Structure 1
Amino acid sequence: MTTEVLFNSNMHFEHRQWNRELAFWQDELKSFNNRLSELVNHYTSKEVLEQLEHYQNEFTLHGNVIEDLLEAIEQHEIRIAAQSKTGLDELDTQMSKKHMEFRNRMETQRDIYAKLKKDFFRFLETYM
């Protein structure tokens, strides 16, 4: 088994990419919620309103996940900055492991979010 060496500069670069991706998701969620508001004004069917509520809940949950991910990135950046002050560019094994776990969290969240968007767009095709 090989151990991946993670350098502070590479992790910082990846964090910046993730921050941009998460900011984009936040913007998308705003527009998705605007769509929900439009639909609430057009439908009174209990079935449709339940689906609207479902998506509203999903968007809220996903927004909370985004906030958690942004906070975790910020905390990791603080640790990287402290490590950088020591003059060493490599993080310890524990921090590298945490970064790899976070990368996996981002990949999982991408999959979850992509499925949510796909389902929502199908819903919009039906009701818009």
Structure 2
Amino acid sequence: MEKEVIYNSSMHFEHQQWKGELAFWKDELKFFENRLSEIVTRWTNKDVLSQLEHYQNEFILHHETIENMLEDIEEHETRIAGQSKKNVDVLDIKFVKIHDVFRNRIENQRHIYSELKKTFFRSLEKYM
């Protein structure tokens, strides 16, 4: 059974993709927050405002998650750079495991974020 070889350049490429995706989410969250601000000014019903506050809190949590993930990517990029300086293009098993764990985290976050968007859009339909 042949082992898969994972190169630093492949990790770097995937990091760049993730960073782009996270940057998009950050921009999208700003749009959602602006939309939320518009809606809040239209309603005085406490139940509606409570629901809108829930989304505001979710957006804050997602901002924090995005920042944490970006920091983790940068940390891993630093490790890759250290490997590259030594002219080693294959990550060791420890780094590959870290990368796989992060890949699972971002896939999970995609699902969570997608669900938040769906429910937020449904709320927009109700409250706009």
Using structure 1 for the length normalisation, give the TM-score: 0.97
**Runs of at least 5 residues in structure 1 that lack an aligned partner in the other structure:** none
- Runs of 4+ in structure 1 off by over 2 angstroms are 1-5
| 1:69-108 pair list within 5 angstroms | 69-108=69-108
Report the CA distance shift for 1:61/1:3 in structure 2 as closer, same or farther (over 3 A).
farther
| 1:33-112 pair list within 5 angstroms | 33-112=33-112
Count of residues in Structure 1 that have an aligned counterpart in Structure 2: 128
**Runs of at least 5 residues in structure 2 that lack an aligned partner in the other structure:** none
Q: 1:19–1:70: 8 Å Cα contact kept in structure 2?
A: yes
Amino acid at match of 1:34: N
Instruction: Look up the match of 2:25.
Output: 25
Give the Cα–Cα distance (whole angstroms) in 1 for the partners of residues 108 and 119 of structure 2.
17
Which whole-Å deviations, capped at 9, do the CAs of 1:7-31 have from their partners, x for residues lacking one? 1000000000000000000000000
Which whole-Å deviations, capped at 9, do the CAs of 1:56-102 have from their partners, x for residues lacking one? 00000011000000000000000000000111100110000000110
Q: 1:5–1:96: 8 Å Cα contact kept in structure 2?
A: no
Give the Cα–Cα distance (whole angstroms) in 2 for the partners of residues 123 and 3 of structure 1.
48
Q: State the percentage of identical aligned residues.
A: 63
Give the Cα–Cα distance (whole angstroms) in 2 for the partners of residues 65 and 3 of structure 1.
33
Using structure 2 for the length normalisation, give the TM-score: 0.97
Structure 1 SS opposite 2:25: helix
Q: 1:12–1:77: 8 Å Cα contact kept in structure 2?
A: yes
* Deviation, structure 1 residue 6: 1.5
